[in-house]
Amino acid sequence: MNPNTFYIVSDSVGETAELMAKAALSQFLNSEMRIQRIPYVEDVATLNETVQTAKENGGIIAYTLVKPDFRKHLQARADEANVIAMDMLGPIMDHLQGYLNEEPILQPGLVHKLDEDYYKRIEAIEFAVKYDDGRDAKGILKADLVLIGVSRTSKTPLSQFLAHKQLKVANVPIVPEVDPPEELFQVDPSKCVGLNIEPEQLNHIRHERLKSLGLDGSANYARSERIQEEIDYFNKIVDHIGCRTINVSTKAVEETANAILNTIR
């Protein structure tokens, strides 16, 4: 009897083995084999049933089972039943174990966990870009974390750094001439962090920023009186919200980010 079903057995989703099976079958133009996944295998009874079904239907089996005892059991039952069974993961893991001189952790589904983490990180990065610098106040209520501070307190690089930790961060600039968005006063204070800075340090940073842009360092933006006015207004907003603050004067972005993570956790 010609085999007509390709059974894909996995203790996770089974996507890896299915893709490999499809790639192999694509080389046989006259093949009409169908592929049937048997995912999330948790017991030997399912393995036995799959072997029996493959035998009755004249099918073959490919498997990506992380647990060695499951692999041995399925292969043994398939050999007894004269059913072709191909281990698509075990040999690679065995070679890697010898090459890396490290024991595998034997936990199913880690590939998909890594994929999930990757997409969460990308989503958080896109969120940080969309709601950077108070562009859209709607993001304040959607965010995992809201950063507020005067200009040049590293709000944007902090938002991006924390996004790589899968946090959705919105940041809002605090400027005396502009009323903060109403959403800022509706957010849970525990989700809001104010970025404080010493006036002298901010003065130096702004002077350097103006120089890098080829502008006069005596502009109002870098004047000590203006900076103090902004910081006083920032403190007023922080008191109104009731949120915590972190002094970023002498901290690198990574240090501030770690301080924030420790605070919100």
Which positions make up the binding site?
149-156
- Other CB atoms within 10 Å distance of the CB of residue 149: 27
Q: Which residue ranges make up the annotated binding site for ADP?
A: 149-156
Q: Residue 135: phi, psi to the nearest 5?
A: -60, -40
- Distance in angstroms (rounded) separating the CA atoms of residues 172 and 151: 10
Eight-state DSSP code of residue 134: G
N-terminal to C-terminal alpha carbon distance within the chain: 62
- Distance in angstroms (rounded) separating the CA atoms of residues 149 and 197: 9
What is the Cα gyration radius of the chain? 29
Closest CA to 256 of 171, 177, 130, 183: 171
Q: What SS3 state is found at 30?
A: coil
- Distance in angstroms (rounded) separating the CA atoms of residues 176 and 145: 23
Amino acid letter for position 84: I
